[in-house]
């Protein structure tokens, strides 16, 4: 039964990306500007796409935005995690987002793996595994390498993700709160106890989004995460879209002012 749930979850995500939920592909001709890269270490290989700010100025530091895709985009083609991602790319390529030159990395989780290796059939919470998933561990290694080599402002690192990537966003937050200046988990689920008790989360502004008619990831997961973060004293906002299904990221990433809010955040 669990395998069936996982398969349906991945299929629904793939279909939503393919259809775009009726929204036209605004940035289809710009996907190639995301450089194909790979991170290799003794622990494995992580494929990723990278956007570098144009006209880098010597000595200047730039924000980094990490995007974690959903279950349907797993693989090894280094394409699926960015193809059709107009909703997310709106954060950096829209009229509002383009005011903020930034680095973007979009890693691709290998097939059969997850950003957070937990049971998706759990409807209220889960327990964070003691060690990060293979993909999450490699992402953390990659982040350290990029901070050392690129003109990244370590006080302006943002993480966001959809569906499986929403789970990954919460996992990243509780594992590496010292790295994050702001986060946007979309239709995901977290470890409520960790979200309510991890000290480093209190200074991280967070915006959560979910659709009330989501049958892939129950909206209760986001409601619970919101309540847990509020209990922790966090600066968190929750938006739930009435009647919207799993693809609420099409609305979420086009929220007016979201890019302005995100790029204004800086670690204290």
Confidence of residue 14 (pLDDT cuts 50, 70, 90): very low
At 27-47, the pLDDT tens digits run: 766 777 899 999 999 999 999
Distance CA 224, CA 183 (A): 17
Distance CA 66, CA 54 (A): 18
140 burial via Cβ count (<10 Å: 0-12, 13-18, 19+)? middle
Domain 2-263, architecture per CATH: 3-Layer(aba) Sandwich (3.40)
Alpha helices in the chain (DSSP H): 2-19, 86-93, 134-149, 164-175, 192-197, 219-231, 249-252, 258-263
Distance CA 2, CA 119 (A): 8
Q: Is the separation of the CB atoms in 138 and 41 below 8 Å?
A: yes
Distance CA 28, CA 23 (A): 12
User: What is the pLDDT at residue 27?
Assistant: 75
Q: Choose among 187, 179, 256: nearest CA to 226.
A: 187
More confidently predicted of 84 and 71: 71
Domains of the chain, residue spans? 2-263
Q: Is the separation of the CB atoms in 152 and 103 below 8 Å?
A: yes
Taking each continuous run of H as one helix and of E as one strand, the counts in the chain are 8, 8
Element spanning 78, H or E: none
> For the chain, first and last CA: distance in Å?
46
Confidence of residue 188 (pLDDT cuts 50, 70, 90): very high
Q: Is the separation of the CB atoms in 244 and 214 below 8 Å?
A: yes
Distance CA 27, CA 34 (A): 12
At 216-256, the pLDDT tens digits run: 999 999 999 999 999 999 999 999 999 999 999 999 999 99
Say whether pTM exceeds 0.85.
yes
Lowest-pLDDT choice from 16-20, 75-79, 81-85, 113-117: 16-20
At 98-150, the pLDDT tens digits run: 999 999 999 999 999 999 999 999 999 999 999 999 999 999 999 999 999 99
At 156-187, the pLDDT tens digits run: 999 999 999 999 999 999 999 999 999 999 99
- Going by their DSSP bridges, the two strands 44-51 and 103-108 should be labelled as antiparallel
More confidently predicted of 139 and 21: 139
Q: Average pLDDT in the 5-17 region?
A: 46
Residue 19 burial (CB count, 10 A): 11
């Amino acid at each position: 039964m669990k395998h069936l749930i996982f398969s349906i979850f991945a299929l629904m995500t793939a279909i939503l990306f393919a259809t775009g939920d009726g929204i036209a592909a605004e940035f289809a001709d710009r996907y190639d500007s995301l450089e194909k890269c790979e991170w290799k270490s003794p622990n494995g290989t992580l494929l990723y796409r990278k956007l570098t700010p144009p006209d880098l100025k010597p000595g200047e530091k730039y924000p980094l935005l990490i995007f974690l895709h959903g279950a349907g985009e797993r693989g090894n083609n280094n394409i699926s995690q960015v193809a059709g991602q107009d909703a997310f790319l709106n954060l950096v390529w829209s009229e509002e987002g383009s005011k903020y030159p930034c680095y973007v990395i979009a890693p691709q989780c290998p097939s059969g793996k997850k950003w957070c290796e937990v049971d998706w059939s759990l409807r209220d919470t889960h327990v964070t595994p003691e060690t990060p998933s293979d993909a999450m561990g490699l992402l953390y290694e990659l982040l350290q390498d990029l901070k050392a080599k690129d003109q990244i402002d370590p006080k302006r690192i943002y993480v966001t993700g959809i569906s499986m990537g929403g789970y990954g966003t919460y996992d990243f937050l509780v594992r590496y709160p010292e790295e994050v200046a702001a986060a946007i988990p979309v239709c995901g689920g977290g470890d409520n106890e960790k979200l309510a008790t991890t000290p480093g989360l209190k200074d991280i502004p967070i915006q959560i989004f979910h659709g009330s008619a989501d049958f892939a990831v129950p909206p209760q997961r986001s409601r619970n995460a919101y309540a847990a973060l509020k209990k922790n004293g966090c600066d968190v906002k929750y938006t739930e879209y009435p009647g919207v299904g799993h693809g609420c990221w099409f609305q979420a990433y086009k929220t007016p002012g979201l890019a302005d809010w995100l790029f204004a955040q800086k670690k204290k």
